[in-house]
Structure 1
Amino acid sequence: MGRVVIVTGAGQGLGRAHAHAFAAEGYDVVVNDVGPAAETVAAEITAAGGSAVATSGDVSDWEYAESLVRTAVDRFGDLHVLVNNAGLVRDRMLVGMSEQEWDLVVKVDLKGHFCPLRHAAAYWRAQAKAGRPVSGRIVNTSSGAGLMGSIGQGNYTAAKAGVVGLTLVASAELGRYGVTANALAPAARTPMTEAVFADMMATQGAGFDAMAPENVSPLVVWLGSAEAGGVSGRVFEVEGGRIGLADGWRYGVRRELDRRWEVAEAGKAVLDLLAEAEPPTPVYGA
């Protein structure tokens, strides 16, 4: 029996590229999306000699996410990899953002990661407790916006920053069961980012397509492999031919007293700390 992967949001863009890349490596692929595109991608994989099944549904729905994991196990006998890729944007400045625009993005982009992760984790824990070997891999999709912030994307930034935090906790909690969790901050041309990268594509010459979503997939496939068992709790930036490790929050310079600070003292300490510290990476679009 080969390895089995679920790819959410696999009807187009990055998810479609990931699904095809896993299939090319011999994985059985569960292709998820909210519409008929999942069937199209599964048919493409099958026509190319691969193994795939399509399932349509909202990954932020608790019961559907549970059924998604069950589909993998019932159809292919096991589950080894969960690639959480489904997402959407509703860009607007904070002062004009509606409650519905906030709720929808956080629901799909953050809860839509948690629900499949939760049910996959429960499956792997049960396997481990039954004494069966587990080689579980979770690959979550964050964004440069989630790492640095992005003007006009307060909802998306919050959700994608939440994905990073969720990944760190999943790595810490699930390692005992043989499960790793990592996240990506990919840059690629997809239906969701076409407008963002339009100027970049206009200036790109012939040859290597640095914005092709297929450039991201080799890293995703490797992180899903049995060989990647020693890598967990990490965030990778990937674009074109570049792979980088993103360093997150860590303890920085400090000042300390053995008593409560006075207001003026606290202010001076802050200014001293800022003078010593590295400046933060600018918010995208600032």
Structure 2
Amino acid sequence: MTRQPQPLPRVMLEPLVRAALLEDLGRGGDLTTEAVVSAQQATEAFLVARAAGTLAGLDAAALAFQIMDPAVTAEPLKADGEALAPGDSVLRLTGPARAILSAERVALNLVCHLSGIATATAELVAAVRPHPVHVTCTRKTTPGLRALEKYAVRAGGGANHRLGLDDAILIKDNHIALAGGVVEAVTRARARAGHLVKVEVEVDRLDQLEEALGAGPDAVLLDNMRPEQLREAVRIVAGRAVTEASGGITRETIAQVAASGVDVISAGWLTHSAPSLDIGLDVLTG
């Protein structure tokens, strides 16, 4: 099934891609390409999938080539969210050969990393398809790349948890310890939060869950609970709050977790540890 997320606007993409290009070009530019390739040489090239997966980050990859030289034409041949087979071409490039080679690594770093996230997400989403549950990421993202990585999760058919510290309240174990208890922590949060701000509280024991529910959170994060504990937690909550399972989620365990009846399953490794999808650049002789 094709998943086509709303594209990120260029105003968000461009600073990230420019920073990556500047990091790679350093102080002297691409010494190898400038020495070996003529400034007048043009070429045609393709980004090609070497492995099966789900595409994400194509706009960022295309932008890397176009920022390097506006004379480069980048023609998408696939869309983010589409399934890829080995040998599929995803982007056709024409224009100055120097620019295409100089932007190659940045473009591939982005599209391979983001496609890896989308691929891993799509696998988890497929594993829980019989159940009415949402698969989400967390804030465990690469510094500076959160918008792109969370976009890649959406391209894989997943959903996003809070985007940052400022769009929801998530009370974790350290907050509870410093507040003196879960009820006190939730009470303080409720007093501070605006009417549109959701409050979620993390619990790792069923007795703590009963206590937390008494404070009236919008959601409860059931941390590192076994499937049988999750089923009991869902029974206890009985629809009074959104239930989220987190911790120890793998491709092998997620179906059991989903069968417990939780509303949301979050997995931090989707953004911090998903393996890159192998995509390469094939240049035709200019």
State the TM-score, normalized to the length of structure 1.
Answer: 0.24
Larger-Rg structure: 2
State the TM-score, normalized to the length of structure 2.
Answer: 0.24
Higher relative contact order at CA 8 Å, sep ≥6: structure 1 or structure 2? 2
